[in-house]
Amino acid sequence: MPDYAILLNNNIMHIHMKYLFRIIVLSLVLLPVVLLAEDGKKKKTETVEIQTSAICGDCKVRLEKSLAFEKGVRAVELDEETKIISITYKIGKNDKESLKKAITKIGYDADEMPADQEAHDKLPACCQKGNEPH
């Protein structure tokens, strides 16, 4: 009887080793596929920087809040000193030109694009071009 137990134990060990070997081989085969898929997904977002005509903290709040609702936008940050706004958005959902157009519709210049005059005129006096930062 002990011989059967040893034989049975050896068969079980052999089966476990076969499965373990298959799992290792399968892992080695699938690992490059998973890594390549991850490479394709890494660049989901893009960040652009746009020069604006923002003047004060109110401009910062207005631009950041308004642009946060643009399609695909994930993050918005205006540097009040340089007046450069950094916008992170999902690739394929938006692009730099559309974001610049959105900025002009809020009433501010965006790089070389001038502000929509009607929107600019509706800004508080402290936020209109020609005023000093406060």
pLDDT of 90 strictly over 80? yes
Per-residue model confidence (pLDDT) at position 24:
79
Residue with tokens 């080695």: 28
Name the domain count of the chain.
Answer: 2
Residue 9 belongs to a domain: yes
**Using CA atoms, how far apart are residues 111 and 98, in angstroms rounded to an integer?**
12
| 51 shares a domain with 33 | no
Largest CA distance in the chain: 100
| 57 shares a domain with 115 | yes
pLDDT of 11 strictly over 80? no
**pLDDT band of 9, cuts 50, 70, 90:** low
Residue 132 belongs to a domain: no
| 106 shares a domain with 73 | yes
Per-residue model confidence (pLDDT) at position 32:
76
Per-residue model confidence (pLDDT) at position 3:
55
Residue 133 belongs to a domain: no
Per-residue pLDDT reduced to its tens digit, 20-78: 777 777 777 777 776 776 555 567 899 999 999 999 999 999 999 999 999 999 999 99
| 4 shares a domain with 65 | no
Domain hosting residue 97, numbered range: 45-127
Q: Tokens in use for 128?
A: 């209109």
